[in-house]
Amino acid sequence: MCGITGIISSNGQIGSTRSLHYMTDAIRHRGPDDCGYYETTTCRGEYLGLGHRRLSIIDIETGKQPVSNENKTVFLVFNGEIYNYKALRKELQAKGHIFRTASDSEVIVHAYEEYGEKCIELFRGMFAFAIWDEVKQIL
């Protein structure tokens, strides 16, 4: 089972990167295979960081997280499994979405691009995730 972390700090980046890495390291037992981070400063000057610990199950080679869309405006950390991700992937490809990986995580990113917050209604499975939309500046 993987693990996800996140932090938003209204005082900018003071100590925030260190805190994000500490939190993510603290859940190493949930995902010993890999870790990844996404960090940014919001338009309001807040620090936002997402962390991920990975237990490799699906798409072992290219399933590293956080995962993003092609133009790096949507970022995702995800834990769980989307049972119907293959069918959703085909549907999204038919709508013109281009996938770089075979992971169920990337399906979530493209579903969010296509359907917005309502994308969650499409997913069958057990999961938790956080999406940062850089354009809309929403988590």
Residues annotated as part of the active site: 2
Query: Among 112, 80, 75, which residue's Cα sits nearest to residue 3?
Result: 80
Contact 46, 37 (CB under 8 A): no
Structure tokens at 97: 């979405």
In Å, how far are 66, 78, 82, 84 from 126, measured between CA atoms?
18, 11, 7, 11
